[in-house]
Structure 1
Amino acid sequence: MPSLNIYYQNVRGLRTKTNNFFRNVCLNSYDVIVITETWLVDSINSCELFDGRYLVWRRDRDYTRTLQKLGGGVLIAVRKDLVAMERYDWRSSTEDIWITITLKKLRPSVTYYIHICGLYLCKENSGSSFNTQLLNFTHNLNNLMSSYPLDVFIIMGDFNFGNDVKWCKSPDGAELVPEEISDSSLVEFFDCVSTYSLSQFNGIRNVNGRMLDLVFSNSTLTVEEIDNALAVPVDVHHKTLHIQANFIQFHTLHENSTKKYMFNKGDYECVNNALIQVDWHDYLCSVALDEAVTRFYEKLYEIRDKFIPVKSVRRQSYPPWYNTALIKILAEKHKYHSKYKRYGNLSDYHSFSLLKMRAEELEQTCFNNYIDIIEASIVSNPRSFWSYVKSKKCTFVLPNIMRYGETVAETGQEITNLFADYFHATFQQPDSDLTSTQFLNDHDVNISISSIEISSDRVLKLLKSLDINKSGGPDLIPPIFIVKCAESLLLPVCTLFKRSLSEGTVPNIWKSAFITPVFKSGDKADVSNYRPISKLCLFAKILERIVHTEVYSVLASKLGDSQHGF
């Protein structure tokens, strides 16, 4: 039976540990990672801590409010193929963060939810006192448990109860019960815990014999100490915990393998010969413009399929310094770890330990070689350096549950439609009383699009100037294909450009675009917090550049507020 594997650690600050933490995260495959006392600030991006496999939610301490320089902060990272969302409205005045994971059981078919909370309770120089924070959290927990009585709750964090609570093992199970509570301010919290059948499962004590980090749940959990911590060195007052919750089946977003054309390995001599042999004038001038463009692409796709190799790929989330040998070792390590957990065979554990040691050593070597290569080529190949810097600044990982108003989407298609609805709703309709002809007449503009000359030399120059490292648009023709076939494509492209301008029509496919939602700020699960970026077909962009050069100088001072675009 599969289990939900949760990693928990009070790290006592991540500011100086980001590099090693990131690499250790890459070497492991936890479903959920909960970190307290992160000490993070806005200038440290989540991409410096987690690779693309995870969705990350943070609640950094407000140092302006607390008049502190260090301390506090919590984060939760969830594997991105799990359906998870942050419950921003569940936060209390405590440093807590809540996420909900949707789980499904096949037989019988049931959808249920697990709510995970990471929190940190402490005294602050300014702001809420410890007792006030605990009281607010208790009231909030009471409301949530009463509102969702059938759901599973897992609450973990640094409660800082210290010697105020003495714990003893329950004779009935793995949980611990409070034997003695010396601080009366804690009584209301434990009354709430008892009312809703929450049990405490962490019995691992720190170097002083205390348990500062607690794990509560209304479902049975297994809590173990683990040696291979993600953040090192490990603070002696806070043990690193591995928490397991057994469930029947995860509800994940399915990611299909895709067919990828290897354009960099294409036979472009054959491609160019095939393009030259086409009678483009007869092929493109005997039908309407949209049909001509369709024919143009059909011929390109036909030639592409003949001379460009294809391979089936599935998106990988490994760092760029991982090589094939390391990836295979990680897969074997995971296999033997799963076998040991299932059967308890010591030989499987020894194999797992050996592979774990090999993986760490090889990862260190791979990373050092990667950094050495980047540093050595910073002058000759600065792109590699800036790609590495960019990977530490941003990542594009959408939550698996998105909402727009009262509508919630959980599948890839539903989320796509939700973004489409929002972006369409923000479109500003032009003034219906103002036609393009009236606009030109009113502003005394004397220009005709059809009079723009399409120069073969200029079109060829633009075709060859495309950046071959960029991707293509909705027509799926990348720059490398166009650049390597520029002279063979010149005739059909010029023919289509001339027809488009003379007929005053833009082909439909050139009006289509790939839309990428870019996060602005706020709740990542709310589509209204994103702005769209469009990726057009490259042929359309070239035509746009030609037209822009001719008309912009004439129209620049005449454009109104309704002239806009993404």
Structure 2
Amino acid sequence: MANKKLSFYYQNVRGLRTKVLCTFNNTLHCNYDILLFTETWLQSDILDTELCDDRYQIFRQDRDLGLTGKKTGGGVMLCINHKINATRCHDFLCNGIEVLHVRLSALSIAAVRDLHIILLYIPPDASSIPSQLDSIIESLTNIQNSCDNHDYIFLGDFNLPCLTWSDEGFSTINDYPQHMRIAATTFADSVGMLGFTQYNFIPNCNNRTLDLCFSTTPIIISQSDDPLLREDAYHPALILTATDLFLTPLREVHMPRPNFYRGNYKELNDYFSKIDWDEVLAADLLDDVIDAFYKEINVGVERFIPLNNKLKHRRYPVWYSRSLIKIIREKTKMHIKWKKYENPRDYQEFSILRARQHSIQKSCFNNYMTLTEKNIRNSPKTFWTYVKSKRGGSQYPKAFTVNDKTYEDGNGICTAFGEYFHSVFAGPSAHLSTSVGSTCTTSELVEGSSNVISTLTITEDSAGGQVDVIYTDFEKAFDRVDHVILLSKLQNLGIHGDLLRWMLDMLLLFDILRGKIDSGELLSCIEFCTQRSRTRHTHLFSVPSHRSNYGSNAVMTRLPRLYIDKFESLDIFHLSKLSFRKSLVEMLTDS
């Protein structure tokens, strides 16, 4: 495939926030290598994948509304074909303007030197433009000094209406303030001294040129006949062609694959049934047996499964109709013909096809969206697959830079990536103690299970040990046990019925008494109080009359019934708080 000249599309779009869908649909059928947009007005709430399909890698510099104190506006965006190795640079420093600096690898554009693309937008503020122009020249000089012998394309909306441009150079217009004219003249002279040439001479409706394109490599600029978005009268859409730069995509190695959908499986089964597998697989080594088996399988596939030699090129979305694709192709041919012969009749036919394309494309998209919305209920997976595809692209980076060294091949990228992140990988710090505590008496818990349970141990959670044990020494670890795990383990050990229910009640009561669970409703049924008729009621619990609202097996009923008689020996008036809690725990664990 012959290399094609590197093509650019530039437009000041005057905001993309309300044109997201239109931008995405219109870029689907464009063949430009690089798209450049100024005044995007974008913020982080709009994703990159909402603006272009996966053929482009997107670089954005949105306006910092907090830093500038403005509500909207500004912003620049670069969309670069994924076949080009592009890297963003952050060395262009200039306050008050939005700048993007992207470096293209010389290998991917068939050049001897790397190409730097600098896209910027200068707000139309006459008071700050002179200082901003000085900062631009300073940053541009520093970049050229650090990247010597490279090519540069420096373009954007400069908002310098005081300059008029022609093939012979520039001139000033006296209708503007003197300080503006001096700053603009100084800027143009400085850019020329750095080796740049201004190539855009296309005026706007006021016969001014606000969008300038400076370059160190030859460029041909023409006005677009088919703008991607509605064209602003003050900013004509431009097409740039770099005459000395070419797109050199990686050559795809086509390998025919078996088309199993069209295989003759009846003949294939007959072929396999006639093979004497005992003889074929009669080998001493396992590797030889496997090789012989796959040899026969491959022979059968080659004989009875046809090959698919078609190349898959997904140029158009799934919702494009055949008529729409045909119109797009005819429109492209007619545009080339008009550019070549400049026949007005060719342009008229091109205009008709262009209008027809926009109409049919809109109709196809609306039909597709209507069908998708109807199928959401029956097939929601398709809808969420589309949503997830908008969350991030599926393209891999073409280069990886670490320690000032850039890797552009797959093996180099993987190796550098692994070496860079090797330091964050460490062996597991968690450990499991093999010692068995001398106080562990769990072998008496379940008769006949001492060989298993006697090896269990208690470990602090903070130690980071492996958790594959159940703590059953209630005397030492009663308030450290995860109750859900404990009850599950007890069920597996054969504890069921009333005994397990009693254990659940006891654990719940203990958590309430020590303040781990705050249950005012339950405490109203299990009162820590004396009856008014008796000043020395030593029972720990009293049962209010409204307890009858609960069933006989409810926890509100079981707890008072089970424990009223168990704690008569506790004197809540004479025991201190510490002694009371200690005695309560002992009774719970001994019950």
What TM-score, normalized by structure 2, do the two folds share?
0.61
Write the distance in 2 (CA, Å) between the matches of 1:245 and 1:349: 25
- CA deviations on 1:155-184 (whole Å, 9 max, x unpaired) are 22111223xx2314344xxx6455668313
Q: Structure 1 residue 79: deviation in Å?
A: 1.8
The match for 2:220 is: 222
- The answer (yes or no) to whether the contact 1:322–1:366 under 8 Å persists in 2 is yes
Write the distance in 2 (CA, Å) between the matches of 1:443 and 1:351: 90
Amino acid in the other structure paired with 1:246: T
User: Out of 245, 253, 268, which is 1:256 matched to?
Assistant: 253
User: Out of 40, 44, 66, which is 1:38 matched to?
Assistant: 40
Count of aligned pairs between the two proteins:
431
Amino acid in the other structure paired with 2:219: L
The match for 1:362 is: 360
The match for 2:77 is: 75
Write the distance in 2 (CA, Å) between the matches of 1:48 and 1:287: 60
Q: 1:205 to 1:308 in 2, by over 3 A?
A: same
Amino acid in the other structure paired with 2:226: N
Write the distance in 2 (CA, Å) between the matches of 1:276 and 1:374: 48
Write the distance in 2 (CA, Å) between the matches of 1:386 and 1:272: 41
The match for 1:53 is: 55
- CA deviations on 1:139-163 (whole Å, 9 max, x unpaired) are 111223445564332222111223x
Q: Which piece of structure 1 moves more, 311-320 or 423-432?
A: 423-432
Matches within 5 A, 1:148-297: 148=147, 150-162=149-161, 165-171=162-168, 176-178=170-172, 182=178, 183=180, 184-232=182-230, 234-247=231-244, 249-262=246-259
Q: 1:177 to 1:43 in 2, by over 3 A?
A: same
- CA deviations on 1:533-553 (whole Å, 9 max, x unpaired) are xxxxxxxxxxxxxxxxxxxxx
Larger relative contact order (CA 8 Å, sep ≥ 6): 1
Write the distance in 2 (CA, Å) between the matches of 1:5 and 1:76: 13
Q: Which piece of structure 1 moves more, 270-279 or 379-388?
A: 270-279
Q: 1:177 to 1:284 in 2, by over 3 A?
A: farther
Write the distance in 1 (CA, Å) between the matches of 2:433 and 2:427: 16
Q: Structure 1 residue 193: deviation in Å?
A: 1.4
Write the distance in 1 (CA, Å) between the matches of 2:379 and 2:270: 33
Q: 1:395 to 1:206 in 2, by over 3 A?
A: same
User: Out of 12, 15, 26, which is 2:14 matched to?
Assistant: 12
Identity of aligned residues (%): 30
Partner SS for 1:34? strand
Q: 1:80 to 1:382 in 2, by over 3 A?
A: same
Q: Structure 1 residue 208: deviation in Å?
A: 4.0
The match for 1:557 is: 467
User: Out of 91, 94, 99, which is 1:96 matched to?
Assistant: 99
Q: 1:382 to 1:32 in 2, by over 3 A?
A: same
Write the distance in 1 (CA, Å) between the matches of 2:310 and 2:24: 29
Q: 1:401 to 1:105 in 2, by over 3 A?
A: closer
The match for 2:453 is: none
Amino acid in the other structure paired with 1:6: F
User: Out of 384, 387, 391, which is 2:385 matched to?
Assistant: 387
The match for 2:520 is: none
Partner SS for 1:27? coil
Q: Structure 1 residue 313: deviation in Å?
A: 2.5
Write the distance in 2 (CA, Å) between the matches of 1:39 and 1:179: 30
Amino acid in the other structure paired with 2:68: T
Q: 1:249 to 1:123 in 2, by over 3 A?
A: closer
- The answer (yes or no) to whether the contact 1:55–1:398 under 8 Å persists in 2 is no
- What is the root-mean-square deviation in Å for CA atoms of aligned residues? 4.3
Amino acid in the other structure paired with 2:467: S
Q: 1:71 to 1:288 in 2, by over 3 A?
A: farther
Matches within 5 A, 1:406-555: 406-410=404-408, 414-423=409-418, 426-427=421-422
Q: Tell me, which stretches of 5 or more residues in structure 1 are unaligned? A: 445-554, 560-566
Write the distance in 2 (CA, Å) between the matches of 1:88 and 1:301: 54
Q: 1:244 to 1:309 in 2, by over 3 A?
A: closer
Q: Structure 1 residue 27: deviation in Å?
A: 2.2
Write the distance in 2 (CA, Å) between the matches of 1:379 and 1:123: 50
Q: Structure 1 residue 129: deviation in Å?
A: 4.6
Q: Structure 1 residue 50: deviation in Å?
A: 0.8
Amino acid in the other structure paired with 2:371: I
Write the distance in 2 (CA, Å) between the matches of 1:329 and 1:23: 16
